[in-house]
Chains A and B, each alone.
Chain A
Amino acid sequence: DGGITQSPKYLFRKEGQNVTLSCEQNLNHDAMYWYRQDPGQGLRLIYYSQIVNDFQKGDIAEGYSVSREKKESFPLTVTSAQKNPTAFYLCASTLRGANTGELFFGEGSRLTVL
């Protein structure tokens, strides 16, 4: 079945550690996105990539990094520079330019900093 797979589902980290969240899709979508979700704040865009080897900062990119070496994969690294990393992270994808921007989402990864 086609879809978006995020892993791990739950992740705990100590302060000062970098962590990487995985996002893989087999939908043959061109564009991929990372959003952060906090209670009462909706979804905020961290980074997005419309083609391989290219990506753009979203509204809250500070303290995060990404790579897009393959069309299917768009991992997100939460660095120690991110001051408040505890959140629910959502990966999404879409077929660039072919439609209205409708996003397909993964099941999310919940990061807790201890």
Chain B
Amino acid sequence: AQSVTQLGSHVSVSEGALVLLRCNYSSSVPPYLFWYVQYPNQGLQLLLKYTTGATLVKGINGFEAEFKKSETSFHLTKPSAHMSDAAEYFCAVSESGNTPLVFGKGTRLSVIA
């Protein structure tokens, strides 16, 4: 069965510092991997996704993630945090287009001025 583990329920960084949000997954087949962002009282918005091909994936708002099969990881990074990046971030995994996404518990990112 698929599962996702997000390390750290809350991460705090200074404005301009590196953002690193960790995600590890388990899957019996090559997975599809996603990062979503959620602002308070809103739905989820796709940041980026890995399907096949290049393992370094670039998304919106300057975020990127790297699929590392040997480490079963899909960590999200951004070189320089902005105040507007403060939100909750969810990692998700899917084994096919016909199975529901399985989500991690989320990581709340705070950005300190």
**Chain A interface (Cβ < 8 Å from any Cβ of B):** 4, 6, 31, 33, 35, 40-45, 48, 50, 58, 88, 90, 92, 94, 96-108, 110
Contact = CB atoms under 8 A, between A and B. Distances in A.
A80 B101 CA distance: 28
Contacts of A100: 32, 49, 51, 94, 96-97
A43 B103 contact: yes
Interface residues of B, number: 24
A6 B98 CA distance: 23
Interface of B: 9, 32, 34, 36, 41-46, 49, 51, 90, 94, 96-101, 103-106
Interface of B is mostly: loop
A18 B103 CA distance: 28
A94 B97 contact: yes
Contacts of B45: 105
A105 B38 CA distance: 10
Contact of A108 (B42, B100, B101, B105): B42
B78 to A, nearest CB: 21
A101 B99 contact: yes
Contacts of A94: 97
A96 B100 CA distance: 10
A42 B104 contact: yes
B96 A108 contact: no
Contact of A96 (B51, B94, B98, B105): B98
